[in-house]
Amino acid sequence: MVHDAHCEDNTLHNMLTSLSAPEFPVAFGVIRQVTSTSFDENIWKQINEEKQNSKFSSVDELMNSGVTWEIE
């Protein structure tokens, strides 16, 4: 078995970090190094996609759309 730090599947990486018995060697160094988008980038992407697909461009449009109700 060959360890690949750039493998997308993290199963082997998790197994390496969970070896803690004295008879097993300790894994150290770069266990996983996968290039991916950051959480912040994903949030901004999702916000921009929702803005593009939204029926309303402002809160005023939403409030005047007729899909509202009054609570007395």
Inter-residue contact 5 to 32 (CB < 8 Å): yes
6 and 31 in a single domain? The answer is yes
What pLDDT, on the 0 to 100 scale, is given for residue 67? 67
Q: Which domain holds residue 52?
A: 38-66
71 part of a folded domain: no
pLDDT for 9-68, tens place per residue? Answer: 888 888 888 877 777 777 777 788 888 899 999 999 999 999 999 988 888 888 888 866
60 part of a folded domain: yes
The first and second tokens of residue 69, run together, are: 């109700």
8 part of a folded domain: yes
24 part of a folded domain: yes
Residue 1 pLDDT greater than 70, yes or no: no
Inter-residue contact 16 to 31 (CB < 8 Å): yes
14 part of a folded domain: yes
**Model's pTM, two decimal places?**
0.46
Cα diameter, the chain: 71
* C-alpha to C-alpha distance for 63 and 69, rounded to whole angstroms: 9
1 and 31 in a single domain? The answer is yes
Number of domains in the chain: 2
